[in-house]
């Protein structure tokens, strides 16, 4: 008996992939992956001390503080802010729900950490049909315009295209959210459409901009990179000055180390 997640993906795939043989094939891979408990990455280590790791229940207080400090800046764009402040108990339960969904092969919701500080949050979401993952992100006000979101999204794109069956990654934002548009534009995503969408948050005007990059496009080196030695895709993006923190990305996907082992170990100390 297929799990609800697998059933949902099969349904998504049969409705959204009918006209596209490549996507149908990808959907089969995706479903197989989920059936084999293919989980999205929970831990990504970048240079310049930027770390992305799945939130765990023990982070509830840390997350509460970061969200409280970011509320007014997030309110125009993030619909979930309307539910804040959450009680600590509710926030812990929510993180546990994220964990259960991730364990079943669903979305991964991660914190962006610079040392012990929460610099923001982001995630990979299985909500754009088979073969695709959508990236969401926010940055703590203390870290704005330091490249955190761009760096985190580059790391997540790297990780996403390495997931079996994933052939495209998308970023969606309201057209009024010009700051958000800067991230996919900087990273070489392509604007594939603008569609009417019911506003979900107070700053939105109801036009959703959809940016996409395929696995092949992400893997393709830029002209100047073809001259040099091969690097990980993430090490090439974004093409920016290296003087600012968290800009250079040499992202290592730590496959053998889970978040729990990581937190119990020496890395954060
Ligand atoms: C959108 C957001 C995540 C950007 O975070 P950030 O870490 O400051 O982004 P970066 O430093 O990586 O900026 C990358 C580029 O985006 C553009 N950008 C970022 N903030 C901008 C702003 N306020 N106005 C115009 N462009 C902006 C710029 O082109 C910037 O490059 P530059 O600093 O070299 O000029 C942040 O403003 C935020 O948290 N907004 C509220 C939550 C949100 O809107 N999330 C996205 C929902 S779809």
Judge whether residue 222 has pLDDT over 70.
no
Q: What predicted TM-score, i.e. pTM, was given to this entire model?
A: 0.82
168 pLDDT above the threshold of 90: yes
Q: How many angstroms separate the alpha carbon of residue 7 from the centre of ligand 1?
A: 36
Query: What φ, ψ does residue 173 adopt, rounded to 5°?
Result: -150, 160
CA dist., res. 264 & res. 159, Å (int): 23
CA 148 / ligand 1 centre spacing (Å): 9
Q: How far is the CA of 122 from the centre of ligand 1 (A)?
A: 13
Residue nearest to atom 30 of ligand 1 (CA): 182
- Is the minimum distance from the CB of 135 to ligand 1 under 6 angstroms? no
**189 CA distance to ligand 1 centroid (A)?**
15
Mean pLDDT of 192-214: 98
In the prediction, which pLDDT does 25 show?
47
Phi, psi for 41 (deg, rounded to 5): -60, 140
> Do residues 165 and 47 lie in contact, with contact meaning Cβ atoms separated by under 8 Å?
no
Calpha distance 132→25 (Å, rounded): 13
Q: At 49, is the pLDDT very low, low, confident or very high (cuts 50, 70, 90)?
A: confident
With a cut of 80, say whether residue 135 has pLDDT above it. Answer: yes
Query: What pLDDT score was predicted for residue 90?
Result: 98
Query: What percent of the chain clears pLDDT 90, i.e. is strictly above it?
Result: 66
Cα–Cα dist 183/180, whole Å: 6
Which domains are delineated in the chain? 4-11+37-263 (3.40.630.30)
C-alpha count within 13 angstroms, C-beta hemisphere, residue 95 = 21
Number of Cβ atoms within 10 Å of the Cβ of 197: 16
Q: What are the pLDDT digits (tens) for 71-126?
A: 999 999 999 999 999 999 999 999 999 999 999 999 999 999 999 999 999 999 99
- Supply the pLDDT for residue 257: 56
> 191 or 19, which is more confident?
191
The two structure tokens encoding residue 11: 């349904």
pLDDT exceeds 70 at position 198: yes
Mean pLDDT of the chain: 81
Q: Residue 182 C-alpha to ligand 1 middle, in angstroms? A: 6
Q: Tokens standing for 179?
A: 């700051």
**Ligand 1 pocket member 145 (CB < 6 A):** yes
Atom from ligand 1 closest to the CA of residue 151: 12
Task: Identify which has the larger pLDDT, 15 or 210.
Answer: 210
List CB contacts of 214: < 8 A, sequence separation 6 or more.
167, 168
pLDDT at 247 over 50: no
Question: What is the β-pairing status of strands 43-45 and 108-114?
Answer: unpaired
pLDDT grade for 38, boundaries at 50, 70 and 90: confident
pLDDT at 263 over 60: yes
Please report, for residues 84, 117, 159, 243, the alpha-carbon distance to residue 240 in angstroms, rounded to integers and kept in the order given: 35, 23, 21, 9
Q: 236, 221 in Cβ contact below 8 A?
A: yes
- The closest-lying atom of ligand 1 relative to the alpha carbon of residue 173 is 48
Summarize pLDDT for 68-83 with one digit per residue, the tens: 999 999 999 999 999 9
Model confidence band, residue 225 (pLDDT cutoffs 50, 70, 90): low
Highest mean pLDDT among 9-18, 45-54, 57-66, 216-225 belongs to: 57-66
Tell me the two tokens of residue 119: 């610099």
Count of CB atoms within 10 A of residue 47's CB? Answer: 17
Q: For the chain, give the secondary structure using H, E and C.
A: CCCHHHHHHHHHHHHHCCCCHHHHHHHHHHHHHHHCCCCCCCEEECCCCEEEEECCHHHHHHHHHHHHHHHHHHCCCCHHHHHCCCCHHHHHHHHHHHHHHHHCCCCEEEEEEECCEEEEEEEEECCCCCCEEEEEEEECHHHCCCCHHHHHHHHHHHHHHCCCCCCEEEEEEECCCHHHHHHHHHHCCEEEEEEECCCCCCCCCCEEEEEEEEHHHHHCCCCCHHHCCCCCHHHHCCCCCCCCCCCCCCCEECCCCCHHHHHHCCCCC
Ligand 1, closest atom to CA 144?
8
State how far the Cα of 233 lies from the Cα of 216, in Å rounded to an integer.
11
pLDDT score of 251 more than 90 = no
Q: Which of 23-27, 101-105, 141-145 has the lowest mean pLDDT?
A: 23-27
Residue nearest to atom 10 of ligand 1 (CA): 147
Distance 203 CA to ligand 1 centre (A): 15
């Amino acid at each position: 008996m297929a799990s609800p997640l697998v059933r949902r993906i099969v349904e998504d795939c049969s409705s959204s992939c009918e006209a596209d043989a490549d996507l149908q094939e990808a959907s089969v891979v995706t479903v197989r992956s989920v059936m084999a408990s293919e989980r999205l990455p929970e831990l990504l280590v970048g240079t310049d001390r930027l770390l992305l790791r799945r939130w765990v229940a023990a982070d509830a207080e840390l997350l509460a503080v970061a969200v409280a400090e970011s509320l007014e800046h997030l309110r125009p764009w993030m619909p979930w802010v309307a539910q804040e402040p959450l009680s600590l108990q509710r926030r812990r339960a929510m993180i546990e729900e994220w964990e259960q969904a991730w364990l079943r092969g669903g979305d991964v919701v991660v914190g962006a950490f610079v040392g012990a500080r929460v610099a923001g949050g982001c995630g990979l979401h299985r909500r754009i049909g088979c073969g695709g993952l959508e990236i969401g992100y926010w940055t703590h006000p203390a870290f704005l315009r330091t490249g955190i979101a761009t760096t985190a999204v580059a790391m997540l794109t790297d990780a996403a295209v390495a997931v079996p069956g994933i052939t495209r990654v998308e970023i969606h934002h309201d057209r009024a959210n010009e700051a958000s548009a800067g991230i996919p534009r900087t990273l070489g995503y392509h604007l594939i459409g603008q569609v009417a969408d019911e506003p979900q948050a107070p700053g939105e005007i109801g036009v959703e901009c959809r940016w996409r990059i395929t696995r092949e496009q992400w893997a393709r080196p830029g002209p100047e990179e073809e001259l040099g030695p091969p690097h990980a895709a993430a090490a090439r993006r974004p093409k920016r000055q290296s003087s600012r923190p968290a800009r250079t990305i040499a992202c290592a996907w730590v496959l053998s180390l889970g978040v729990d082992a990581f937190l119990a170990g020496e890395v954060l100390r």
